[in-house]
Amino acid sequence: MIKDTFDAENGILTAFFSGKFTAEEIVEWLRIINPERFPTRKLKILLDASEGEYVFQPTQLEKFDKPITDLCRSFESVKTAVIHKTPKETAYSLIISSKTICKNYTEQTFSFKDAAIDWLLN
């Protein structure tokens, strides 16, 4: 399940991923992120996937290319902090981040929420 909340004061969209996820489910969530739903030009995303498990293969990571590019076109900047607990999920995030060609997109992977929030706010 994906639950998200938006804090307009600091511009952080916090998303909690729990349980098992397919690439398609994550892509659908990415598609609903837009300025009408999250009214900020500089979007900061705190994606807590520490309780989530990705149930797709590395070959499916290319499915994220277009949704992330579309997301970047919708905002002046997109800064994403991802929290993972397992090596597989961490590796997937690092691959996605390295393949993203948007100049206004930055992503870092973290093990701890406090470090992720500090990075987003600075």
Q: Could you state, in order of their start, the residue ranges of all structural domains in the chain?
A: 2-121
Which residues neighbour 6 within 8 Å (Cβ) at sequence distance 6 or greater?
12, 13, 14, 37, 38
Whether 108 contacts 82, CB under 8 Å: yes
**pTM of the entire predicted model:** 0.93
Q: Tell me how far CA of residue 81 lies from CA of 38, 59, 94, in angstroms.
A: 17, 23, 11
pLDDT tens, position by position, for the chain (122 residues)? 899 999 999 989 999 999 999 999 999 999 999 999 999 999 999 999 999 999 999 999 999 999 999 999 999 999 999 999 999 999 999 999 998 989 999 999 999 999 999 999 99
Give the CATH class of 2-121: alpha beta
- For 30-62, the DSSP string reads HHT--TTTS--SEEEEEEEEEEEEE-S-GGGGG
